[in-house]
Amino acid sequence: MGSGATQSKLGPRFLKAFLFAAEKHAGQVRKASTTPYIAHLMGVASLTLEFGGDEDMAIAALLHDVVEDCGGVPMLREVKKRFRQPCSEDCDGCTDSDVEPKRHGASARKLISGI
């Protein structure tokens, strides 16, 4: 890192979000692949941090598909309860939980473009 760069600290909330996402997406794989779905969420969280996002944004990146893929509006309420704002607001803004058909890929693009 250069002398003027700051490092984003990831704390216990990030770990809690990672474990929550891993639990909710357990057994899921990427389309046409055997890659565990959590790999996608890790990639989005990584890009979020690399493009200057903070811990809250990285947490939202980990959770951006949990609402859409694992329970819709009731899951959004669970995310809001566990992770509070602004993480839950970012998740809500990135989910298509009540939109059919699902627009895959749009959620991650929304999150990263907001940085």
pTM above threshold 0.85: no
CA dist list (Å): 54 to 5, 10, 64, 90? 14, 9, 15, 12
**C-alpha 99, offset from chain centre:** 18
Instruction: List phi, psi (to 5°) of 75.
Output: -70, -35
Segment 3-37, tens digit of pLDDT: 445 556 899 999 999 999 999 999 999 999 999 99
Segment 33-80, tens digit of pLDDT: 999 999 999 999 999 999 998 898 899 899 988 888 888 888 888 888
Torsion of CA 89, 52, 115, 12, to 10 degrees: -10
The answer to whether 68 touches 95, Cβ cutoff 8 Å, is yes
| CA–CA gap between residue 74 and residue 67 (Å, rounded) | 8
b/e burial code for range 19-34 (CB count within 10 A of at least 16 → b):
ebbeebbeeeeeeeee
